[in-house]
Amino acid sequence: MKIKDKVDFIIASLDRLYPDAHCSLNYEQPYQLLIATRLSAQCTDERVNMVTPALFERYKTLEDFAAADFDELCSYIHSCGFFRGKAKSIIEMSGQLISDYNGRVPDTIEELVKLSGVGRKTANLICGDIYGKPSIIADTHCIRLSNRLGLVKNNNDPVAVEKQLKKIIPPQHQTKFCHNLVHHGRAVCIARKPECMNCALNSVCTFFEQTKKHGNKNTAN
């Protein structure tokens, strides 16, 4: 099967399975998505969504976050793990947005990664979900599934995966495709024990084909 046909099949199949897939972090303002994404590092989105209602109620504006007391902010985000580093970058990032961008979240990767604690994954999420730009969000699900499906070749480097997927995923599908991968990675293509026999993508999946040859359909990478 040609790579274009394979990609078209995967996109169509995932869209049927997850028609309403979107970012699982809850937010109302663009800067809140930045903060929620920072909290999600080494933490589940579910946990972050339990923390942010009280957090965003206490700190109602970007200025509130920029002026936050470090120890108090830590107490609000403690359960997200690595809370001291996260609190530091949230305060710094909020100050940068005010001083360098007049309180507006930037809309380019180049400007977003200048913010404290913001890497390419977060920057792509903001560009895709806030500004509607084509974006590849190379999180753990995206990397794992892209490798298993054979869309990238044995590559766990987020930047490399992002660049490879950019070449084969049509721009209009990129952001939704990544959200679909998250949903499929949680529901079916689980890290340690993928449900290959129940997967709608197994007919085009390199991992499934390889495990069939070895007689083990549920062995992860």
What pLDDT is stored for residue 174 in this prediction?
A: 98
CA distances to 28, 45, 49, 105, 205 from 73, in Å: 20, 19, 16, 21, 45
Structural domains in the chain, CATH included, are 3-20+136-213 (1.10.1670.10), 30-129 (1.10.340.30)
By annotation, the residues acting in catalysis are 121, 139
Q: Phi first, then psi: what are they for 54, rounded to 5°?
A: -70, -35
What pLDDT is stored for residue 212 in this prediction?
A: 85
What pLDDT is stored for residue 1 in this prediction?
A: 85
What pLDDT is stored for residue 6 in this prediction?
A: 98
What pLDDT is stored for residue 217 in this prediction?
A: 45
Contact, 220 vs 205, CB < 8 A? no
Contact, 41 vs 67, CB < 8 A? no
What pLDDT is stored for residue 220 in this prediction?
A: 46
The total of other beta-carbon atoms located within 10 Å of residue 133's CB is: 16
| Chain center to CA of 7 | 20
Average pLDDT per consecutive 10 residues, the chain (221 residues; last block may be shorter): 96 98 96 97 95 98 98 98 98 98 98 97 97 97 97 92 97 98 97 95 96 64 44
Q: Which H or E run includes 190?
A: none
The total of other beta-carbon atoms located within 10 Å of residue 58's CB is: 14
- For the entire predicted model, the pTM comes to 0.91
